[in-house]
Amino acid sequence: MNNNLSIKYDSKDHLFHLSNDKVSYIIELVENKYLIHRYWGSKLKNYNFSNKPVPQKRTFAAVPNDDKPEFSLEIEPQEFSCPHQGDYRESSLEIKLQNGYSVSNFLYQKYEILDDIPTLVELPHIRNEKNISAKTLVIHLIDNINNIKLMLFYTILENNSSILRSTKIINQGKDWVYIDKALSASLDMNFDNQDSISLYGSHQKEFQINRQKISHGKYSIGSTRGASSPQYPPFLGLCSSNATEHSGEIYAMNLIYSGNHFGQIELDQYYHIRLSMGIHPDSFRWKLNPGDTFQTPEVVLTYSKDGFNGMSQEFHNLYTQNLINPNWRTKKRPLLINSWEMCYFDISEEKMLDIITSASELGFELIVLDDGWFGKRNNSRSSLGDWTVNTEKFPNGLQPLIQHAQKNNVSFGIWFEPEMISPNSQLIKEHPDWVVHVPDYEPMLGRHQLVLDLTQKDVQDYIIDVLKHYIKNYSISYIKWDMNRHITEPGSVTLPSEQSGEFFHRYILGLYRILNELTSSFPDILFENCSSGGGRFDPGMTYFMPQTWCSDNSDALDRQKIQYGASYLYPSSAITAHVSDVPNHQTNRIIPFSTRASVASSVNMGYEMNILNLSETEKTDIKQHLQWYKNNRDLILFGEFYRLISPFDSNSNHCSWMIVNKEKTSALIYFFTKSFDVCELSFSLKIPYLNPHYIYHDKCSDKYYSGEELAHAGLAINLKEGDYSAIEISLTVI
């Protein structure tokens, strides 16, 4: 147990203080009723209300106690907010009673301190690992009028500057109620001229970074698509106006959830900022019967005093140690070749046998049979749901492929899109009520397909049985799980009208049940998450699947921004990238092989190119690259990833990042140039995050430099002629 990890309640000053070596989070209990946020930031040994303003009466402000006109919930920085109680900012929880009113008043009841991380039933969460100490503060609130209980959870771990928050609502009354909003976390801070930071994007342009000034009003991100989405992943934060990758304060929130979500920054008239995050209240209404409980997803609150790289290290360490499946946390990921861009739907036994042979000769470790292998699947218009092998393409089934792979010492993987169904499938004829739809409305198609209703247990069981069949009857070591459209007409034949607002959340709970059953039953199967690329890349999916195909766009220039943005939250092992053909299939751009290889080599790498018609030079290049990656795989997948030069900087022609092992004895630096400039012959790259006292050998120049010199004086890089160039720098301690 780390003695510096603690949760203490000071009964004299009525303070809850969560702290470890990195961070403090402080809550004041006022009048034994209200939870007031006092501090979140660098670790404090003591707190004596230095930042607490002198109470002042505000004209026309509603007050809970008329004898204390200086205390108003409109002004106080709160940890939780009720609607219609004098606080007109974004509320944390909204409950509608049977009488039609939405007034509630939750007041402090008691607290308890637990020596572990709570397990969230049905929801992914930060795992309680035996080798990592943690403590949890549970604050109980009660609405005595309606007899509804609220529990606020705050968890702190020993070696991370993150606070985990979630809420639980318990109906202890005699009547059912509706939950119209249930956010996982809300807190108020003083505005200090910070910027907002968030991510946005689209299909083939995921994880774009958005930083902007905060002005009065509300800035929100979110998704109502039924998935976390590439448009606005569930990440939102504040950063000091001078924050860089290397310095400045960051306050960030990331929701462990894969469905509709909501995040908001609100700046009020008193220059207080309210940070909120949770399930999106639009299209959400949960009927809570007497005795029932509703648990919100967990949100990770991460603080950094060392800029965005500091923030990322906290997320990376937490997710590697406590979120990713323990069976894959430190396991090497296989070097794969995927059939998709090589074959698309034009796949066959003969072609796959040739691919397996070529893959083995080149040094690949896994061959993935992508779309087109089942039903009558010759394009995207048919067969989803009919998961039987296409006998025209594979007259002998899949066994000859698997046997050939085993003979050539290559593992075998396969693609599924289990949540979807084609309108002309046999499955839809047998089970028309399994389709997500609203009565009397013809469901819309997306990518020529419909969505299976995962709120139904029969549908969940069908998907589980299909995948278990293939895993048990074939020697499959890898499954790519795809989801290629978002939800429209959210409805289920099994949900009564008064529960129609539960559809989206129940869909995600159904998905999580499927994934939990499969990953628990087959812990050695490598599941890769995909949703038209990074359309559902979030911590919830990462809990079940240790890696995600973060974009269908494999163009090495576009990928620099995509992978740069994804690294804000996820370690290299969780991000997959492929070396693909040129001209690129998404952009038609022609980029040198060395650059394509370097961009993909920065994370969890595979290949997507046609390996059946390679020249001898191309074969040699690929063999050498695969062997190089194998030699450096541990460093790349499990080292510390730091960003050096942002491709989002409009004034920069470059992008750079580095990976260094935890001992600081070995490092890889990648330096990319977009276009060649005849006046820029060299570039001085400062390389922090090394040990300043170590002497490093630069293999490229065969010279030696101290870590201190590289951090402050920088390393001169001679730029290559030509556009889209890449330079790799390898440093090792002598």
Residues 6+ apart with CB under 8 A from 267: 191, 214, 215, 216, 217, 273
Torsion angles phi and psi, residue 286, rounded to 5: -115, 125
Six-digit token string for 154? 């705050």
CA 41, 45, 47, 51 dihedral sign is: negative
The answer to whether the CB of 120 falls within 8 A of the CB of 98 is: no
3-state helix, strand, coil in the chain (%, to 5): 20, 35, 45
Q: Identify how many contiguous H helices and E strands the chain contains and give both numbers.
A: 12, 38
Find out whether 706 and 696 touch, Cβ atoms under 8 Å. Answer: yes
Residues in the chain: 734
Contact assessment for residue 225 and residue 507, using Cβ atoms and an 8 Å cutoff: no
DSSP label of 498:
G
Tokens at 155, concatenated: 């968890």
Of 547, 574, 379, the closest CA to residue 478 belongs to 547
* Residues with active-site annotation: 482, 552
Residue 265: closest CA among 255, 276, 254: 276
In contact, 252 and 318? CB cutoff 8 Å = no
Is omega for the bond preceding 583 within 30 degrees of 0, making it cis?
yes
Of the candidates 372, 370, 415, 422, the one whose C-alpha atom is nearest the C-alpha of residue 393 is 372
3-state secondary structure (DSSP) of residue 564: helix
290 backbone dihedrals φ, ψ, rounded to 5°:
-55, 130
Q: What distance in Å separates the CA atoms of residue 700 and residue 696, rounded to the nearest whole number? A: 12
**Dist. CA 653–CA 638, nearest whole Å:** 29
* Whether 154 contacts 201, CB under 8 Å: no
Interatomic CA distance for residues 432 and 592, integer angstroms? 50
Q: How many C-beta atoms lie closer than 10 Å to residue 621's C-beta?
A: 15
CA geometry: angle 652, 584, 557, nearest 5 deg: 10
515 token code pair: 């994934």
Q: For residue 46, what are the contacts with CB-CB under 8 A and spacing of at least 6?
A: none
